[in-house]
Structure 1
């Protein structure tokens, strides 16, 4: 008997992510009405906005019809249109809850959200039962499916009508026992731009994770059509470590800068939105004009000076439209390969005394710290949005950093001469992008998530060995 007048409310089960929902059903002498799926109300009540793309209905003539146990790599919203079922769900995902069983009855006033990888089955308790389910992916021969035998002794499901007395399909009868089930793997993380300086740091940060894949330019061309490049529903997170970073060249190679920093990012944003992925994107202090006199917060309006900054600001705006995203804004990045610190160390050893800009102020950010912060946001399931992430400590000029490098190598700091940005680039032979003179970013927001950025001077000391 369908219960009328219940409030919309969730009830957790012993299987993570498997949630039973009471549904309001309104009835009178003519019959009843319910909102079987109401996105705004249900997400407000705590249901994941799982993005259904297909609605399926299974009609069952007789009581005792038994189907399952099937686990697919997508989420389901299961409900009953008419009749009543006994439902059984078994966790077939990799992990500590593998094999956990939950059973309950569903009628039109109760529904259940079944997360990806949880085996789903039911037995009808009344004739003419219509079982309906929304799913957030289409069936694919390339997807990973898993099955469990309805009579598995380990699961020991107490079917109301004995399985010997009901009709079961030959396929369901042939499904394996729990010991032989192939678990549904966790969703993967894909890091693109994995051969750049940040990409190499992310490889180190995720060296212990078998569910992370890495793609360099030769593996995934971000300027090509990416829609069919992967089975994107198998991924949970997409980290974009690729970028066009030739700041000065961007002033004349505008097409290249926009292709690498905007068009490619737009593709990733579309894929993330369509497939429910978290998109992680790395931004830059170049989105600001550098005229501030206090650290830039995440909500400061952008005002890029040059083409490179314009492309980064445009990409930020695109990524912000993805329902689940992290825009990690950083500055003065130092990693493997040729960079400012390595250059200064080389000049010190070769006896060259450089002139270095002293009117641009900021903090160094080492790629291992950047990678650590990115993983912290993802693993901690931090709220979506923009996060500033640089080294901590005092803000200084490039000239002061150069002097620190000289001193660390045992050379006289005084060998570094400070000059203005205008003086430094006065003799430049090619185009020069305008630089923000103030690149100090406020770190309070990411610190509030429990992440403690390391002082850039400590990182510099370790970097120089």
Structure 2
């Protein structure tokens, strides 16, 4: 019998992510009423914001009709409109909980949230039973399911009505036992811009992980209008956008300006909208160049942006665009060093060729090593840190480019006093081509990310490690 007057609440089960819900049902002499799904209330009470796109109704007229065990590649919210069912759920996802079983009776006062990859089956306990389910992907005949036999001895589901007397389809009778089930793989992480400094570091860390996919622009063009059609996006949980236009000086030219805006802003907006529609977490890489560098102290995440040049303007716009995705991390870095051409490698080359450079001494900040950015991204996702903007650089005292150059010379066995000093203005005036304006102060405050339990060594320790690796 339907229970009336229960409070809306979620009950955790033995299967991770599977939530049993009590629903308030209001009844009188005319019948009853309930809010079957109410996003604001239920998300506040602990329901994942799973963004359903399709509503289905299943009706069974006979007691004992049994459906399942099917694990679909989408999340599912199941409730009963009339009658009563016995529900059985078996975790068919890769991982330690594979094979875990949970059962419960469901009437109109109860519902269940079933995460992707958890097998679900239902047996009707009353005649004329109908149940309703919301899913967050459109049904497709090409969708990849995972199945388990209803009579599997390992799961040993305690069916109220013996399966020998139940109404079961021939297809459901033929599904495999648990030992033969191929687990449903986890949703994947897609890395865009896999050929750059950060992309290379991500590939080095996760290249052997089958749940990671790496693409370059030649393989997946995020500037294309048909981006939503280029993948089955519900297969992805996280997109790390390591693709960027980073030619700071060239961005000031007419051609560079257009390319920087397309890659760093317009494409991010397109990608963010895609993530919003598909429930994907977007990791967007930002830059100290979104600030003008006039602040006398380190920048915090919610300081107003005021970029000086085109590159900084496009990155600031990209940060704002990333906010379209409800699940987003904007990781703001400074002075990135990784594979390929960079300031540290340039200084090593000058030292070894006997060239004594004059290096800018009136711009200040900290280095950020690509491998450390990877660790920071991994940490934010693993601990499920609140979504938003996070500064991520090495720690330690502020240093100028000249300070860093002298440290590099010292680490490769050359006299650091060979490095002279100049000003940003003098360097720009002597350059062969126009240079973009750069922030004087690139210092980023790290308190927010450190509060999540993540910390990095000071930049000088990181520099020693990086130079040693070369």
Which bracket does the TM-score occupy, shorter chain normalised?
Answer: over 0.9
Equivalent residue for 1:262? 265
Q: Partner of 1:305: helix, strand, or coil?
A: coil
Q: Which residue of 1 aligns with 2:54?
A: 54
Alignment of structure 1 residues 305-324 onto 2, 5 Å: 305-324=308-327
**Is 2:134 the counterpart of 1:125?**
no
TM-score, length basis structure 2: 0.97
Kept after mapping to 2: 8 A contact 1:76/1:136: yes
The equivalent residue for 1:169 is 169
Q: Counterparts of 1:40-189 in structure 2 under 5 Å?
A: 40-189=40-189
Using the TM superposition, give the Cα deviation of residue 44 of structure 1 relative to its aligned residue in structure 2, in angstroms.
0.6
Which is worse superposed, 277-286 or 222-231? 222-231
User: How far apart, in 2, do the equivalents of 1:320 and 1:4 lie?
Assistant: 41
Aligned to 2:384: 381
Distance 1:61 1:461 in 2: 73
Distance 1:437 1:430 in 2: 20
Of 352-361 and 202-211, deviating more is 202-211
- Equivalent position of 1:273 in the other structure: 276
SS of alignment partner, residue 152 of structure 1: coil
Render the CA deviation track for 1:378-407: whole Å, top value 9, x for unaligned.
Answer: 122111010001111111110111111112
Cα distance in 1, alignment partners of residues 41 and 421 from structure 2 = 60
- CA deviation profile, 1:25-65 (whole Å, cap 9, x unmatched): 00000000000000011011111110000010011111111
Report 1:27-42 matches (<5 A). 27-42=27-42
The Cα shift of 1:215 comes to 0.8
Which residue in 2 is equivalent to 1:334?
337
Deviations 1:412-432 (A, max 9, x none): 222111111110111334332
In 2, the alpha carbon distance for the partners of 1:455 and 1:195 equals 27
Deviates more, 1:339-348 or 1:302-311: 339-348
Farther-moved stretch of structure 1 (149-158 vs 434-443) = 149-158
The residue that corresponds to 1:3 in the other structure is: 3
Partners of 2:334 and 2:456 lie apart in 1 by: 13
2:441 equivalent in structure 1: 438
Cα distance in 1 between the residues matched to 2:457 and 2:208: 22
**Which of 93-102 and 236-245 deviates more?**
93-102
Structure 2 unmatched ranges of 5 or more: none
Question: 1:349 maps to what in 2?
Answer: 352
Separation in 2, partners of 1:376, 1:444? 15
Q: After superposing the two structures, state which structure 1 stretch, 209-218 or 104-113, moved more.
A: 209-218
Q: Confirm or deny that 1:239 pairs with 2:240.
A: yes
Structure 1 counterpart of 2:458: 455
User: In structure 1, what is the Cα distance between the partners aligned to 2:51 and 2:282?
Assistant: 16
- Contact kept, 8 Å, 1:89 with 1:119, in 2: the verdict is yes
Measure how far apart 1:161 and its partner are. 1.2
Shift of 1:208: 5.3
- State whether structure 2 residue 224 is matched by structure 1 residue 221: no
1 CA distance for matches of 2:457 and 2:243? Answer: 24
CA distance in 2, matches of 1:96, 1:119: 15
C-alpha distance in structure 2 between counterparts of 1:19 and 1:409, whole Å: 58
Partner SS for 1:425: helix
Retained in 1: the 8 A contact 2:269–2:324?
no
Task: Find the aligned partners of 1:213 and 1:311 in 2 and give their Cα distance.
Answer: 26
Deviations 1:78-101 (A, max 9, x none): 000010111111111111111111
Say yes or no: does 1:202 pair with 2:205. no
Does the residue aligned with 1:345 lie in a helix, a strand or coil?
Answer: helix
What CA distance in whole angstroms lies between the structure 1 residues aligned with 2:340 and 2:98? 44
Aligned to 1:17: 17
Q: Contact 1:369–1:454 at 8 Å: present in 2 too? A: no
Unaligned runs of 5+ in 1: none
CA–CA distance in structure 1, aligned partners of residues 434 and 119 of structure 2: 60
Task: State the distance in 1 between where 2:10 and 2:57 align.
Answer: 23
For residues 467 and 97 of structure 2, the distance between their equivalents in structure 1, rounded to whole angstroms, comes to 45
Q: Distance in 2 between matches of 1:22 and 1:337?
A: 56
2:292 to 289, 293, 316: 289
Q: What pairs up with 1:420-435 in 2 under 5 angstroms?
A: 420-435=423-438
Q: Secondary structure at the match of 1:195?
A: coil
Distance 2:169 2:466 in 1: 64
1:210 is displaced (CA, Å) by: 2.5
Q: Does 1:250 align with 2:251?
A: yes
